[in-house]
Structure 1
Amino acid sequence: MKVSKETKQGRVLVVGSINTDLVARAPHLPRPGETIGGHEFSQVAGGKGANQAVAAARIGAQVAMIGCVGSDANGAQRVKDLEVEGIDCSGVEVHPTQPTGVAMVTVSDDGQNTIVVVAGSNGELTPQSVARHEAAIKACDVVVCQLETPWDSVHATLALARRLGKTTVLNPAPATGPLPAEWLPLVDYLVPNEVEAAILAGLPVESQSGARRAATELQQGGARNVIVTLGAQGAYLLVEGGEGRHFPAPQVQAVDTTAAGDTFIGVFAAQLASRQPLEGAINLAQRAAAISVTRAGAQPSIPTRAEVDNAT
């Protein structure tokens, strides 16, 4: 059951990737050079940006999306999928030559995954594209970005959102190295997972204390608040001013961890947009992410508000 538009609270704008996920399930993840037999295949909607937009919409926010798809069947279907969720896709452009982005996902029977992303049309989201949709940024409460679109476009989005006085959330995924120094002062909430935090901070993150050290380093670089998500170990929050807190995660049996982080981000952003307390926003985001890992797929795994509220 979707939340009706009339009852939605807070406005979230997601600038990011829109993909088609090609998902194979197998007994284990293949090692380099290994060929294994899979036992299930599916083609589903994905892309970090689109996943986060869907998560925000299903939890109750008004959501708009800025992105780029190809002029192909996948692109048309992905836009339709988003519109069914009530997401405003007037900021989604269609590229005439590049195909819609694709992610090739392998999921093991214990719920772990590996993902190879081919950006396609996502790579054509330019700073000029972002500028064309300034009105959408002006109309929102919270702006969410990831790193599956060109970095100059991400920076342009963060800078424009800061100039317009919007709350910014950056999910630095996938992370390949430290962020440019001028980025972090533009970020209100930096939300990496433990691997991304280690890459960004140049420090090991293997425990809560490691998460605290990495979060401190990133905050000193300019990010106002840092949340390091730790999977089954929960999340570590370091707020502006230096106060830290660990949030345990609900314990569940994981089936597929694809889009768990995106679910967290989307729900968290929606709660920020509706001006909910920070601790409550993190708790609700963790509960939604915990539900998502008990289901297969990216967007198909993301729960509605009613499902999160009814979960024990």
Structure 2
Amino acid sequence: MTADTTILVFGSINMDLVARVETIARPGETVLSPKAESFFGGKGANQAVAAARVAKGTTIDVLMAGAVGNDPFGQSCLDNLARNGVATHLVAVLPEPTGCAFITVDRKGENAITVASGTNMALHAAELTEHAVSPVVLVLQMEVSLEQNLIAARWAKSLGAQIVWNLAPAPTDDQARRIDEIMSVTDVLIVNEHEALVVSGGAGKTGTYGHEDAASFLARTFRLTCVVTAGASGATAFLQDGERIHADAPRIEPLDTTGAGDTFVGVLAAGIAERLPIKAAMERACLAASRTCMALGAQGGMPWREEI
């Protein structure tokens, strides 16, 4: 089947090193784990894999624009993307080490993550203009340079693409000062409850308010769709006209929540590329994110199209 729609994911590629623990270590505390396991990760790569799995068999291509090191982790990450149906010709191989994430997962499935960025912070968007790529949807996150994200967004916007920006991890204080700049090139903003508050504060909202007021403020102020994810409570889209659209998440007993948010983003981006109504796209994304929590690793439980 010939592809006629392209989702381009510009972002991070990591190798995740995961240790399961009884409780996540507090500052100054050491906890023991039976073993460490390696999994493929990076918010960009996770979202690309999630999108590619749900787009399998459709006329949608998923491309990854990122960077890995000239090391065993880098080659493994490239091979993994290809196995999942993600095109990798826009992934640069650089002298810096491949990014790594160090993850601890407790008995309840909650996690704590430290990321060593490596090649992810050496990623340059200027190279995108050298390739004959015209994305319908561009997906961004916050594990690569903000400046490079903005360059990629402006370039894709000039080609008529929809910009889906997952503002995670939450913007730093310096990044929050550029919220207006970020929002000006964003069509669909995806944040969790905490990130919604950080972003709205950076956009000038003051006083005491909750994440719903924050999301509604962002949607109205910047004339975009703001989607807030809330774990087991599902997700809610706040539209610029004031309408709110909610999608429930299935009730599950999670094994590992790593990658659930990225699954939601990738599957929602695929829904946007398929031109699904926002509620249907969010419902499918919530289902996929829940299934991801039933297996170890960010990508291990991501469902294929036929599974959802």
The alignment's TM-score, normalised by the length of structure 1, stands at 0.90
Q: Letter of the aligned partner of 1:291 in structure 2?
A: R
Query: How far apart are residue 299 of structure 1 and its match?
Result: 1.2
2:139 equivalent in structure 1: 144
- In structure 1, what is the Cα distance between the partners aligned to 2:236 and 2:201? 17
1:166 to 161, 165, 173: 161
1:183 aligns with 2:214: no
1:269 equivalent in structure 2: 269
Cα deviation, 1:49-100, whole Å, max 9, x if unaligned, reads 000000000001420010011111111110111011121111000112x100
- In structure 2, what is the Cα distance between the partners aligned to 1:73 and 1:117? 18
Give unmatched runs, 5+ long, in structure 2. Answer: 203-208
Whether contact under 8 Å (1:215, 1:226) holds in the other structure is yes
- In structure 2, what is the Cα distance between the partners aligned to 1:221 and 1:197? 14
Whether contact under 8 Å (1:65, 1:87) holds in the other structure is yes
The alignment's TM-score, normalised by the length of structure 2, stands at 0.91
Q: Secondary structure at the match of 2:164?
A: strand
- In structure 1, what is the Cα distance between the partners aligned to 2:164 and 2:223? 10
Runs of 4 or more, structure 1, over 6 Å off, are none
2:304 equivalent in structure 1: 304
Whether contact under 8 Å (1:257, 1:293) holds in the other structure is yes
- In structure 1, what is the Cα distance between the partners aligned to 2:142 and 2:190? 12
Whether contact under 8 Å (1:170, 1:189) holds in the other structure is yes
1:283 aligns with 2:279: no
- In structure 2, what is the Cα distance between the partners aligned to 1:32 and 1:131? 45
2:49 equivalent in structure 1: 54
Whether contact under 8 Å (2:220, 2:240) holds in the other structure is no
Shift of the 85–65 alpha-carbon distance from structure 1 to 2, 3 Å rule, reads same
1:244 equivalent in structure 2: 244
Give unmatched runs, 5+ long, in structure 1. Answer: 1-5, 204-208
1:222 aligns with 2:234: no
Query: How far apart are residue 197 of structure 1 and its match?
Result: 1.2
Cα deviation, 1:175-214, whole Å, max 9, x if unaligned, reads 12424312202111000111211211239xxxxx833201
2:9 equivalent in structure 1: 14
Percent of aligned pairs sharing the same letter: 40
Query: How far apart are residue 129 of structure 1 and its match?
Result: 3.1
1:63 equivalent in structure 2: 62
Query: How far apart are residue 248 of structure 1 and its match?
Result: 2.1
1:123 equivalent in structure 2: 121
- In structure 1, what is the Cα distance between the partners aligned to 2:276 and 2:22? 41
1:132 aligns with 2:127: no
Q: Secondary structure at the match of 2:179?
A: coil
2:102 equivalent in structure 1: 104
Q: Secondary structure at the match of 2:102?
A: strand
- In structure 2, what is the Cα distance between the partners aligned to 1:259 and 1:92? 21
Whether contact under 8 Å (2:250, 2:290) holds in the other structure is yes
2:295 equivalent in structure 1: 295
1:25 equivalent in structure 2: 20
- In structure 1, what is the Cα distance between the partners aligned to 2:136 and 2:129? 17
**RMSD value, Cα:** 1.7
Shift of the 105–12 alpha-carbon distance from structure 1 to 2, 3 Å rule, reads same
